[in-house]
Amino acid sequence: MLADLREEIKRFVVMPSEEALTLPGQRTPLDDYIDELAALRTQVAKLGTNVNQIAHRLNANGSAHPVDTAVLAEARHTLMQVRAALADLDETADRAVSAKAA
């Protein structure tokens, strides 16, 4: 999902502006990508809540729940994917702006 989102954003960001024109009120592929990023932000916030609950449990009694290790591993993996997707998006946007400025 993240890889597909990254590729679609790259394609859209470098799309010539005349192809990106739409009628007022009409949704574009970019609107869908923005919705996906908003959903991703919500999921990252939920991961943060889970990590905070684990930290609280560790601070309270010093022992982890058996599931905590798996939750932390999944959170780490997901956040690494999010970081990579955002880095690609940032790089693509920078290149598109540089190309338009030239």
Distance CA 96, CA 101 (A): 9
Greater pLDDT, 25 or 46: 46
DSSP string, 13-67: HTS-GGGG---TT---HHHHHHHHHHHHHHHHHHHHHHHHHHHHHHHHHS---TT
pTM: 0.58
What is the pLDDT confidence band of residue 52, given thresholds at 50, 70 and 90? very high
Place of tokens 């400025």: 101
